[in-house]
Amino acid sequence: MDEPLRMNSRHDAILLKEGPLMLYRLNTERKYIDGTDKKVRQWTYGRRDRNKLNKVILMVGQTGTGKTTIINTMVNYLLGVKFEDQEFYYITEENEDKDQSQSQTSEITVYEVFVEENPTSLTIIDTPGYADTEGYEKDRELSESLIRLFSDEDGIHYIDAVCFVMKASDNRLSEKEFYIFHSVLSLFGRDIGDNIVFLLTYSSGCPPEDALNAIKKAEIPCRRDENNEPVYFLFNNQQKVQRDQKYKRALKSAWEMGEESINELFTLLDEKNRKRVQMTLNVLKERRQLEACVSNLVDKISEKELKTNELNGIQEALRQNRDKIGNCENFEFTSYESNVKDSTNKTEIEQKIINDLEEIKIEKSKLLNEAYVTITRLSEIALKADSAFTLQHVDFLILRLKEEGKDEWMKNLEDMKKAGEQKKNKGAVDYLMAFGKHFFWG
């Protein structure tokens, strides 16, 4: 005989849907974290208790992989919800009856969960559906938001795990997925590699050979087990499916698989593998510096071209009007809208532009040096120094270094480019070139 429906929640929540499985949304205190320009939301369930042991997980996944369901499943685990309770709680904004691809949310959401009866609290950093539509611009916005989140006094200062969410059935990574992984890996410091694990969704419970092969082929740095295999956890993502008696056994098995996976994940988090975000914060700031240098270099190149054209125009006008200058007759320069009567004015105008060009040359050289030094620093501290983010700038910088005669630096970047291509980075770069707003200049 079926158990009676539970109309009242055992937790602070509102009822979303009645049925054999009661669906609730937890009541949370919602605010934006200071200093993030409303780009990082913080939703807190329960009474904040800084004395509890807190675990911090950062979640990353392409839209449609089931990331939201896993977040809610983790929260239900912390609440102590069992299959027999016939209830499921949402902490997320959407209950997934809605197509997630329609979501317009671009903010990072930080979920904090404090359960009075549980000695451990949980913080989940949920990144928006990564690289969904806006591509490069969205990724740059995410990077800036993380800088603010990690820098703010009330923000996040350490991470216990970075969880990549992907389907267990994926046997290869698309260019888009390559780009997502590269984008995320390029955000972190070298010290975070051992904290990266995989959450494999829509799993039958069998060994996820397809997904593991895809992970290995992509050469993604991650935590590995005693057999040198990537550490992963399986989920079926059927937790919110209504409890038809015909499918109850299968649904119970799916629930228990997820429960076991979360238990194993949380046990892993107890191994004191926590990392402070300082190195990652340094990487994010170096990325910002590299972008600024390249952008300013492009501006200087454009400015140099305009000045050079202007100088050529003046010199040509002077040649064509040599007789007038010799006779001290007036003639006009369109670019300066001023009269020139003698060679003195000619020298002043030419010299001013020549001086401007020399200043531009000095500034270009300084910016190029800064860009090269920044890439060098990234290669030392970034988890993936040869990521698509870095490689997108390399061809442009190689050409500029060649112009400056910096052969050794040019060779170093050429070697970086070759190594990146050998490490199967091409798919990520191709996606960035095809769909993202990017910097590719020759």
Side chain identity, residue 159:
I
User: Which pLDDT score, from 0 to 100, does residue 104 have?
Assistant: 46
Domain boundary (276, 299, 330) is at 276
- Residue 121 in contact with residue 114, Cβ under 8 Å? yes
Of the candidates 395, 393, 386, 394, the one whose C-alpha atom is nearest the C-alpha of residue 425 is 386
User: Which pLDDT score, from 0 to 100, does residue 193 have?
Assistant: 92
Side chain identity, residue 46:
G
- 114 and 88 assigned to the same domain: yes
- 303 and 267 assigned to the same domain: no
- 92 and 124 assigned to the same domain: yes
User: Which pLDDT score, from 0 to 100, does residue 65 have?
Assistant: 86
User: Which pLDDT score, from 0 to 100, does residue 232 have?
Assistant: 96
For residue 333, tell me if it sits in a domain: yes
For residue 222, tell me if it sits in a domain: yes
**What phi-psi label fits residue 219: left (phi over 0), alpha (psi between -120 and 50 degrees) or beta?**
left
- 83 and 31 assigned to the same domain: yes
For residue 141, tell me if it sits in a domain: yes
Q: What is the pTM of this model?
A: 0.81
Please give the C-alpha separations between residue 24 and each of 9, 14, 225, 235, in angstroms, as whole numbers.
8, 5, 37, 21
For residue 441, tell me if it sits in a domain: no
Domain boundary (261, 276, 291) is at 276
* Domains: count for the chain: 2
- 222 and 344 assigned to the same domain: no
DSSP string, 83-114: GGG-EEEE-SS--SSS-GGG----SEEEEEE-
- 326 and 266 assigned to the same domain: no
- 166 and 313 assigned to the same domain: no
- 254 and 289 assigned to the same domain: no
Domain boundary (222, 250, 276) is at 276
- 346 and 381 assigned to the same domain: yes
User: Which pLDDT score, from 0 to 100, does residue 282 have?
Assistant: 93
The burial class, CB within 10 Å (0-12 / 13-18 / 19+), for 8 is: exposed
- 294 and 258 assigned to the same domain: no
For residue 440, tell me if it sits in a domain: no
Question: Residue 102's domain is classified under what CATH number?
Answer: 3.40.50.300
For residue 119, tell me if it sits in a domain: yes
For residue 382, tell me if it sits in a domain: yes
- 91 and 172 assigned to the same domain: yes
Of the candidates 248, 234, 235, the one whose C-alpha atom is nearest the C-alpha of residue 69 is 235
Query: What are the two backbone dihedrals, phi and then psi, of residue 9, each rounded to the nearest 5 degrees?
Result: -75, 145
User: Which pLDDT score, from 0 to 100, does residue 1 have?
Assistant: 38
User: Distance between CA atoms of 406 and 366, rounded to whole angstroms?
Assistant: 13
Per-residue pLDDT tens listing for the chain (442 residues): 344 444 567 899 999 988 888 999 999 999 998 766 788 999 999 998 888 889 999 999 888 889 999 999 999 999 999 999 999 999 998 644 444 444 445 689 999 999 998 999 999 999 886 544 455 666 778 888 888 899 888 889 999 999 999 999 887 777 777 777 777 888 899 999 999 999 999 988 888 999 999 888 888 889 999 999 999 999 987 776 667 777 788 889 888 999 999 999 999 987 778 999 999 999 999 989 998 999 999 999 889 888 888 888 877 776 776 655 555 555 555 444 444 444 445 567 778 888 888 898 899 999 999 999 999 999 889 987 777 777 888 888 999 999 889 999 999 999 888 887 665 555 555 555 555 444 433 3
For the four alpha carbons of 211, 212, 214 and 220, in that order, the dihedral sign comes to positive
Domain with 217 in it: 13-276
For residue 5, tell me if it sits in a domain: no
- 169 and 231 assigned to the same domain: yes
